[in-house]
Amino acid sequence: MFESKAGILYIAGIGFFALAFVSNAVVPALMYSSLPEQTVPELVNSNLRYQFEDLARRYPDSFNAVYGEPPGGEPEHDAWWNEKCAEALAYGHKIYVGEGCWHCHSQFVRPVSNEEQRWGPVARSWEYQNELNRPVMFGTRRVGPDLSREGGRRSNDWHAVHFFRPRDLSESSPMPEYPWFFDGSPDRPNAKGLAIITYVQWLGSWQESYPYYEDYVPSMQRPDDSDDADGEAAADDDDGAEEDE
């Protein structure tokens, strides 16, 4: 058996591979099969809408050139924004994958190495149960920061300048420049620029604590009271649920 062609083909070749596939892939797939997979339009939330409309206000010429003018009439108006926002989100994801952003920016926060302090709440399975994680964007390397809690941390114009020339904002950054997201200058993002900023602002926008700043203290509170202000973030540190998964 151990040296026969049949043994090698059927046991080692197919058998062991199937065993590994069932135990390492089918098992988690079945475990999470109850979590519904969200489509891109379902992923548009009010935090993201806020950022998307902010893009329209900051860069009206660029925005209108790509998406046109919003129609009048309240219901049509709302549906139009959602539709364009979903369109930008999907396109932004495509650019994020195509440019290989995810090879230098991970998208998961681990429960170790003080990562909760640096990035925010630990990653949970349901966060990845959507169309934009086909295939999942966990990433394996952090040349730059993790981005899964990036949405809302920084303004749209910060991102525009940063994509155009990262070192203008972050002196030591090894990130490449992306001038092809713009028509010549950072205040004129093109379709790609608007889309990639929308995608980055989406990351983490589903969190209750969005935007999740490092050492976030509500502006009306003195720094001494910061311990009380952590209550909201602490609610997300639900270790019990982590083990249930």
Partner 1 sequence: MSEAIQSGAADDSADIPSHRELVDETLVKLYFLTALAFLTVSMLAGLLMALQLIRHNPLQGLELFSPGRWRMVHTNAVAYGFLANGFIGALHWIVPRLTLHPVFSRKLSWFIYAAWQAVVLATAGGIVLGEAQGLEWGETPVWVDPVAQLGLLLLAINFMPPIARMKGPVYVTLWYFMAMFVWTFLTYAMGNFVPQYFVTGTSAGAVGGLFIHDLVGLFVTPLGWGMMYYFVPILLKKPIWSHGLSLVGFWGLAFFYPLQGIHHFLYTPIPMFLQYGAVVSTIAVELVVTTVIINFFGTIWGSTSAVKTNLPIRWFYTGMIYYFLTCLQCSFQVTLTFQKVIHFTDWVVGHAHLVMFGVFTMWIMGMMTYLFPRLLNRPWYSQTACEWHYWLSSLGILFMAGDLTLLGLFQGWSWAALEPWDVSVELSVPFWALRVVAGLAMFAGLLVFMWNLWKTWSSVPEQQSSPAAVPAAA
3-state secondary structure of 106: coil
Q: What is the DSSP letter of 109?
A: -
Q: Min. distance of Cβ 168 from partner 1 in angstroms?
A: 13
- Give the closest residue to 48 by CA, choosing from 126, 156, 123: 156
Least distance CB 36 / partner 1 (angstroms): 10
Q: Which of residues 15-54 bind partner 1 (CB under 8 A)?
A: 16-17, 19-21, 23-25, 27-29, 31-32, 35, 37
- Sign of CA pseudo-dihedral 146, 36, 87, 152: negative
Structure tokens at 45: 């939330």
Neighbours of 92 (CB within 10 A): 23
Smallest distance from partner 1 to CB 62, Å: 18
Cα–Cα distance measured from residue 204 to residue 42, given in angstroms and rounded to the nearest whole number: 15
Site map 155..184 versus partner 1, x via CB under 8 A: ------------x--xxxxx-xxxxx----
Residue 197 found at the interface with partner 1 (CB under 8 A): no
> Which part of the chain contacts partner 1 (CB under 8 A), choosing from 52-60, 137-145, 152-160, 203-211?
137-145
Which one of residues 74, 227, 228, 243 is an interface residue with partner 1 (CB under 8 A)? 243
* Three-class DSSP category at 161: helix
* 228 in contact with partner 1 (CB under 8 A): no
| Total number of residues that touch partner 1 (CB under 8 A) | 79
